[in-house]
A and B are shown apart, each in its own frame.
Chain A
């Protein structure tokens, strides 16, 4: 049978973001794939050069709607290293706290999408319903579900109060129970297992050669985690386990991410029980002394790396960002070879490429009565919670 080329993207209903994949298929089997990126390249690195150091933090927050805290922490750490700023201990703990809350909502988002891509839509709805628990907690502390605006150069902008800690404690109780259930589903539900087992597989050697990072690498048995290997924020004081698995397939990816949610819940417990007193930020100078630094962060999808150079002025000379998906995209190309056409969506989703959007106000049209109601986010949230 002759090989046929199937273009998927840049705009395609099965993709959550614009990327272009050209699959060469022989019947149902994928022979090779050519990936083209850059469709959402917004020139943020260049734009940072025309913004002050503080303005750049807000722009960098918007690199990603899911792991916004990862990018700002990574950037602020680099700037703080250049300026020799010592971040207060309480601020470092709050950075780690938000980092773990972000990891939980990101991994639950992935779990839901994975369920959706394999036709298990109940899992998608359950996982995203429970993701609201952690998003509500993020919102009640920072005021935002995503793009929390917590980081600033020299520390964090908002403190965590006693009330926040109490609320977070209750959210953790609820989530711990739900995550146990999801782990049970992932490990024991026959249909879910059979759609993921052996799919999107890479070996440990390939994971290393392809430069994969984060859960994609860990699910192939590569024991890397920057929170342990290159500790930042408060991770040098927090005990935790690095979760790895041996399969290298998407089932292993699910096992790793669920295990990481469980670890993140424990880390959050540790943080709120051991949150040190003290200031949450120190004042940073408007002009950052000349110098350069390279900062790394274990984002939900893996290693995020920022290189920052200052010429001594009030604006950066150069900001370079490498987000984890670029490092993991090679694994998609590799594991696509020999895969079935039907598995294409889940293999792409397997590395968890990024997508997010958020509405602050919702208009409800009641078709039967013709009545239109405008609800604030709080009112809508209260209605949703009443049904939980």
Chain B
């Protein structure tokens, strides 16, 4: 039971965020992927929403023990952003895709990473994002009596709050 005491030197052996970003870029050769920013143990990347499945297929092949921490969705006004947060080699990679605000739709990654099921259902509930390829998207956080087509985390135009 238990490993040895962790020393500061052990921690320095972790691959750096730049190294992880480089590996992802080379695995996703030919894809429209841009590394936006690197910070301490974080990589921020962005890509077109159509390539999400291909991206995760390739990255999962590279890191079979990839850990998807969660998926964030947010309404930034003109578009809906979806950010996939996943851990590889102790670096948290944040992959952003932007969806059309009127018909937010992206392919599901449930069959590649089954963990994403709960996170996709939550985003479907609160932002109305459709995940193409799922047989069903049952509610996770909203009650069954919640009105169809009302999404609590969508921005509401000023003065229109009553109808939210």
Q: How far is the CA of A6 from the CA of B6 in the complex (A)?
A: 46
Which A residues from 59 to 74 make CB contacts under 8 A with B? none
Could you say which residues of chain B place their CB within 8 Å of the CB of A236?
8, 11
**Distance (whole angstroms) from the CB of B41 to the closest CB of chain A:** 5
Could you say which residues of chain A place their CB within 8 Å of the CB of B119?
322
Binary interface encoding of chain B residues 54-73 relative to chain A, with 1 for a CB under 8 A from any of its CBs, else 0: 00000000000101111011
Could you say which residues of chain A place their CB within 8 Å of the CB of B132?
none
**Distance (whole angstroms) from the CB of A229 to the closest CB of chain B:** 4
A294-B85, A327-B115 known; A259 and B1 CB under 8 Å? yes
Q: How far is the CA of A37 from the CA of B118 in the complex (A)?
A: 10
Q: Is B147 close to A, CB under 8 A?
A: no
Question: Are B141 and A242 in touch, CB under 8 angstroms?
Answer: no
Question: Are A305 and B70 in touch, CB under 8 angstroms?
Answer: yes
- The closest CB in chain B to the CB of A245 belongs to B1
Question: Are B65 and A294 in touch, CB under 8 angstroms?
Answer: no
Question: Are B94 and A294 in touch, CB under 8 angstroms?
Answer: yes
Q: Which residue from B74, B76, B90, B92 sits with its C-beta under 8 Å from A294?
A: B92
User: Which of A38-46, A110-118, A146-154, A336-344 interfaces with chain B?
Assistant: A38-46
Could you say which residues of chain B place their CB within 8 Å of the CB of A352?
none
Question: Are A229 and B90 in touch, CB under 8 angstroms?
Answer: yes
Q: Is A32 close to B, CB under 8 A?
A: no
Could you say which residues of chain A place their CB within 8 Å of the CB of B85?
294, 305, 307
Question: Are B114 and A320 in touch, CB under 8 angstroms?
Answer: no
Q: Which residue from B67, B74, B76, B83 sits with its C-beta under 8 Å from A208?
A: B67
Q: How far is the CA of A45 from the CA of B70 in the complex (A)?
A: 15
Which A residues from 285 to 319 make CB contacts under 8 A with B? 293-294, 296, 303, 305, 307, 309, 317-318
- The closest CB in chain B to the CB of A329 belongs to B118
Q: Is B159 close to A, CB under 8 A?
A: no
Q: Is A88 close to B, CB under 8 A?
A: no
Q: How far is the CA of A242 from the CA of B41 in the complex (A)?
A: 20
Q: Is A193 close to B, CB under 8 A?
A: no
Q: How far is the CA of A256 from the CA of B110 in the complex (A)?
A: 30
A208-B65, A320-B70 known; A38 and B140 CB under 8 Å? yes
Q: Which residue from A43, A209, A293, A305 sits with its C-beta under 8 Å from B69?
A: A305
Question: Are A243 and B72 in touch, CB under 8 angstroms?
Answer: no
- The closest CB in chain A to the CB of B96 belongs to A292
Question: Are B140 and A242 in touch, CB under 8 angstroms?
Answer: no
Q: How far is the CA of A92 from the CA of B115 in the complex (A)?
A: 33
Question: Are A317 and B140 in touch, CB under 8 angstroms?
Answer: no
Could you say which residues of chain B place their CB within 8 Å of the CB of A81?
39
Q: Is B105 close to A, CB under 8 A?
A: no
Binary interface encoding of chain A residues 342-373 relative to chain B, with 1 for a CB under 8 A from any of its CBs, else 0: 00000000000000000000000000000000
A43-B152, A208-B65, A228-B11 known; A241 and B115 CB under 8 Å? no
Question: Are B153 and A45 in touch, CB under 8 angstroms?
Answer: yes
Q: How far is the CA of A209 from the CA of B116 in the complex (A)?
A: 11
Q: Which residue from B4, B5, B67, B141 sits with its C-beta under 8 Å from A38?
A: B141
Could you say which residues of chain B place their CB within 8 Å of the CB of A224?
67
Chain B residues within CB distance 8 Å of chain A: 1-8, 10-11, 14, 39, 41-42, 65, 67-70, 72-74, 76, 83, 85, 90, 92, 94, 113-115, 118-119, 139-143, 152-153
Name 29 A/B residue pairs within 8 A (Cβ), A-sorted: A37-B140, A38-B143, A41-B142, A209-B115, A211-B113, A211-B115, A223-B3, A228-B6, A228-B10, A228-B11, A230-B41, A239-B7, A241-B2, A241-B6, A242-B6, A244-B2, A259-B1, A293-B39, A294-B85, A307-B72, A307-B85, A317-B74, A318-B74, A320-B73, A320-B74, A322-B119, A327-B69, A327-B70, A330-B115
Listed from nearest, the 7 A-B pairs whose CB atoms lie closest are A211-B115, A322-B70, A38-B141, A229-B90, A320-B72, A318-B74, A307-B72
Additional A-B contacts beyond A38-B141, A322-B69 (4; CB < 8 A): A209-B114, A230-B90, A296-B92, A320-B72
